[in-house]
Amino acid sequence: MNKAAVVFFVVLIGGAAVHSQEVFNLVTEVWAPFRLVDESTESGFSGIDIDVINELERRMNVIIKIESCPWARALDEIRSGEADLISGIAYTKDRAAFAEYIPVSYAAVEPVFYTQSGKGSSVVNYGDLAGKVIGMSRHSAYFEPYNSDNTLNKYFLDSEQKILDMLVLGRLDLGIGTNPNMAYDISVSGYQDKLELVFYKPPVATKLYLAMSKKSGGIPMLDEFSEALSDMTGDGTMESILEKYR
């Protein structure tokens, strides 16, 4: 059965009142501090994205069910229409072919390169990336021209944690990711003395969005999602959520 949005109706017998509530299935993966493993919650998650989702449920009177799965599978489920929503997704033209982005970005991250401690000066500009083995998360997007640069030696891994582990072992020259995410993982892993940022800092920020499968039955509600996110930004709710995790 397709996991597209379903509408439940409750009719009050003897009265005219009818209540409907839209149910959406959202797919995502662990990505601290946006999605943290938290077995004390019904979804198994806490973090920035979860706080945003909970507030959207409250404001829009919808139900958003969260499914944890690897990022590649999450994208596949949005592509096929098996799932409705995905969180923490950066914009690319390829993804826009199968996902409708809710146009209000709710957060942004900074692309960064890490290396072994003492080697940060080995990369002071974009050109210094040439010839380096760069670990990156499979199916992730960072910034241009990096995303489309096929001359670089990119080594694909399933998670930012694996990138950090291989960096510490000296099996990679560099690892690309985003902050605050990589900084959080480095701290949790106890790698603060083993890894450092390179001198080169990409002069961009990667905006994060919620996006909906173009095959979802919830497409008519895109404007409502956009309005709710815009209101959350305007009334300070979004800043309050982000501040909790700084």
The answer to whether residue 14 scores a pLDDT higher than 70 is no
Cis peptide bond upstream of 220, omega within 30 = no
Question: Quick one: pLDDT at residue 139?
Answer: 83
Question: What is the per-residue pLDDT across 173-217, written as a single tens digit (0 to 9) for each?
Answer: 999 999 988 988 899 899 999 999 999 999 899 899 999 999 999
Question: What is the per-residue pLDDT across 90-115, written as a single tens digit (0 to 9) for each?
Answer: 999 999 999 999 999 999 999 999 99
What proportion of the chain, given as a percentage, has pLDDT over 90? Answer: 77
Question: Quick one: pLDDT at residue 201?
Answer: 95
Lowest mean pLDDT, pick from 80-89, 116-125, 177-186 = 177-186
Cis peptide bond upstream of 202, omega within 30 = no
Helices and strands in the chain, H and E counts? 7, 13
d(CA 124, CA 53): 39
User: For the chain, which domains are there?
Assistant: 6-107+207-243 (3.40.190.10), 109-197 (3.40.190.10)
Q: What is the mean pLDDT of residues 26-41?
A: 91
Taking phi first (over 0 means left), then psi (-120 to 50 degrees means alpha), and beta for anything else, what does residue 155 get? beta
Burial 159-183 (b: 16+ CB within 10 A, else e): bbbebbbbbbeeebbbbbbbebbbb
27 HSE (CA, 13 A, CB side): 21
Read off the pLDDT band of 6 (50, 70, 90).
very low
